[in-house]
Amino acid sequence: MTDLPIPPAIIMILGAGLLPFIHKYARYFVVLVTPILACAQVWNIPVGENLLSLNIANFELSLLYGHAYSKIFGTIFTIAAFGAALFGLTQSKLSETVSAFIYAGSALGVVYSGDLISLFLYWELMAISSTLVIFASDRKKSKNAAMRYALMHFLGGVVLLTGIIAYISLTGSSDIVAFNAPTSILIPEFWALDMNAIVMWLILIGVLVNAAVPPFSAWLPDSYPEGSAFGSVYLSAFTTKTAVFVLLTLFPGTEILIYIGMFMIFYGIIWAILENDMRRILSYSIINQVGFMVVGIGIGTEMSLNGAAAHAFAHIIYKALLFMSAGSVLYMTGKSKCSELGGLYRTMHVTAACGIVGALAISAFPLTSGFVSKSMISSAAIHEGMEYVWYGLLAASAGVFLHAGIKFPWFVFFQKDSGMRPKDPPLNMQLAMGIFAALCIIPAIPGWAELTLYKMLPTPTDYKSYTTEHVVSQLQLLLFSGLAFFVLLPLLKRTPTITLDFDWIYRGFGRYIVLGVALMSKLPIRIGRILFKKMLKKSLHMISHIHSPDGVIARAWPIGTTVLWSVAFLGLYLVIYYF
């Protein structure tokens, strides 16, 4: 038991609330110390114990519960928050840092929620705060992207909430437990649709939106590149990996996730190869890498689940490093398109070196963290007799080296000479990149993975990544991928282009649908207004015809006619009065 059961999420959120009220130098101290305190609290929370509860409307909310994967995700989330805070220590705006700390805190809240209600509350807080991080970039394109980002995540939140309410109605409990649902339950026969399957599908879809599963993935490359050079580092770390944590907790061994993950892997590779903007390349690469984790979750063995968690840990570090490298280039040059960059290695030595380390790590190059994490998933596939999955993962590893391992550093730092000679970014930004570059290497030193990365996994593992077969095969794969890149370089050369993704449906065609719906909604009002005007015009014409000086009532009548009408009305009155 902990002596002081304060959720790490509350530590981060309180730190965010303190920042606007202190001097800027004290603010620097709080920004760096808050993630460290949250990380220390993460390591104080035991697994399987509920340390903080709150009873609301007869529901027991578990606000501090240690799940099997809480320690490894809590640790990497706090490390990512520290690194991103250091990277933008003196350059990031106050509003951006406050929003980012709430964002990181809400991700930690999801990791330590023991019930679906508190998980959903943190889930929505994460959507709101991450939207504000994008807004903080303070550009028109950023604001539009933030609105689209918010709409997509709120839509996913509504689906998730519907599933949670239905689940509570069915079971009477809001506790977080694994569904362990095979494909046959999630996809029942259409004539025997099961309510349990509907509930699981709603929750799964709500989570998959945050995991950036196509066709729900366009929000990621649409919004992340529109954040600031510093905000994008935060954005790369939390949303998709929080979804991976929830999938690990709720849907381990769900077979359909294997196919979803494989689709994500190749979808991200293809779009990243076509892309020209360096931060959009890295954004599509997130979809690709999360696909590896989703495949591991779908396989569902101890090794594959360990591999998914370990790969999420490694991915957050090297992806943050890559976004730091890209952010440094953007900060110093104001350019983000590969067709406008090149030759920066001449003056941006630290940035180029750290970017290359991150590129090698994402490619699972030996002596980098990706090598000791990603291979666990492919090994689990072959151990389960899933040869086609293993071949797909092998081909995908080659594709990752093409689009992220070579393409990103080559077109940004090498290729043609752009003529720009920017220096490396300020010291705090270089220090953050250096720390994360070291974290990409330290767990991959032979024998150190068992003492660092594997030590945080929920189940003990005796997996050995440094076997002769694995090292040789991986080097062969990467070297031939590199050869293919340079042979095909004329075809891969980037030009000023725009990549169309599924977001075209709601950004382009969807606009006309909205306008059509708006027009249809106004049509009855317009028709009613026209009919009312015509009726009013006819009524006024009739009244004018009767009451005008030449009208029936206003004209002069003979005395005899007047007497006749008077007698008639008087007789009618007497008859009515009599009855």
Q: Identify whether residues 159 and 239 lie together within a single domain.
A: yes
pLDDT at 400: 85
Any domain includes 534:
yes
Number of helices (H), then strands (E), in the chain = 24, 2
Domain containing 336: what range?
Answer: 141-492
DSSP states along 84-141:
HHHHTTTTS-HHHHHHHHHHHHHHHHHHT--BHHHHHHHHHHHHHHHHHHHHTT--HH
Q: Count the neighbouring beta carbons within 10 Å of the beta carbon of residue 2.
A: 15
Does pLDDT of 564 surpass 90? Answer: no
Using pLDDT thresholds of 50, 70 and 90, give the confidence band for residue 50: confident
Using pLDDT thresholds of 50, 70 and 90, give the confidence band for residue 293: very high
Does pLDDT of 1 surpass 50? Answer: no
Any domain includes 94:
no
Any domain includes 68:
no
pLDDT in tens, 401-430: 877 778 888 888 888 887 888 999 999 999
Any domain includes 526:
yes
Q: Please say which residue of 450, 465, 492 terminates a domain.
A: 492
Q: Identify whether residues 484 and 539 lie together within a single domain.
A: no
Instruction: Say how far apart CA 142 and CA 507 lie, in whole Å.
Output: 15
Residue range 230-256: average pLDDT?
93
Residue 115: strand pairing partners: 175
Instruction: Say how far apart CA 278 and CA 224 lie, in whole Å.
Output: 11
pLDDT at 105: 96
Any domain includes 25:
no
Using pLDDT thresholds of 50, 70 and 90, give the confidence band for residue 349: very high
Any domain includes 350:
yes
Any domain includes 20:
no
Mean pLDDT, the chain, integer: 86
Instruction: Say how far apart CA 43 and CA 73 lie, in whole Å.
Output: 11
Residue range 559-578: average pLDDT?
78
Q: Identify whether residues 266 and 382 lie together within a single domain.
A: yes
Q: Identify whether residues 257 and 339 lie together within a single domain.
A: yes
Does pLDDT of 381 surpass 80? Answer: yes
pLDDT in tens, 428-479: 999 999 999 999 999 888 888 888 888 888 888 888 888 888 888 888 888 8
User: Token pair of 72, please?
Assistant: 């490894």
Whether the Cβ atoms of residue 198 and residue 185 lie closer than 8 Å to each other: no
Q: Identify whether residues 328 and 438 lie together within a single domain.
A: yes
Q: What is the sign of the dihedral through the CA atoms of 161, 167, 169 and 175? A: negative
Q: Identify whether residues 455 and 548 lie together within a single domain.
A: no
The pair phi, psi for residue 59, each rounded to 5°, is -110, 130
Q: Identify whether residues 313 and 421 lie together within a single domain.
A: yes
Quote the DSSP letter at residue 211: T
Q: Identify whether residues 442 and 533 lie together within a single domain.
A: no
Using pLDDT thresholds of 50, 70 and 90, give the confidence band for residue 549: low
Does pLDDT of 86 surpass 90? Answer: yes
Q: Identify whether residues 480 and 513 lie together within a single domain.
A: no
Q: Identify whether residues 453 and 523 lie together within a single domain.
A: no
Using pLDDT thresholds of 50, 70 and 90, give the confidence band for residue 325: very high
**What is the pTM (predicted TM-score) of this model?**
0.86
Using pLDDT thresholds of 50, 70 and 90, give the confidence band for residue 190: very low
Q: Identify whether residues 250 and 399 lie together within a single domain.
A: yes
Instruction: Please state, in angstroms and as integers, the Cα–Cα distance from residue 411 to each residue in 235, 329, 337, following that order.
Output: 23, 12, 9
Residue range 539-550: average pLDDT?
68
Any domain includes 113:
no
Q: Identify whether residues 467 and 516 lie together within a single domain.
A: no
Q: Please say which residue of 459, 492, 525 terminates a domain.
A: 492
DSSP states along 240-273:
HHHHHHHHHHH-TT-THHHHHHHHHHHHHHHHHH
Overall number of domains in the chain: 2
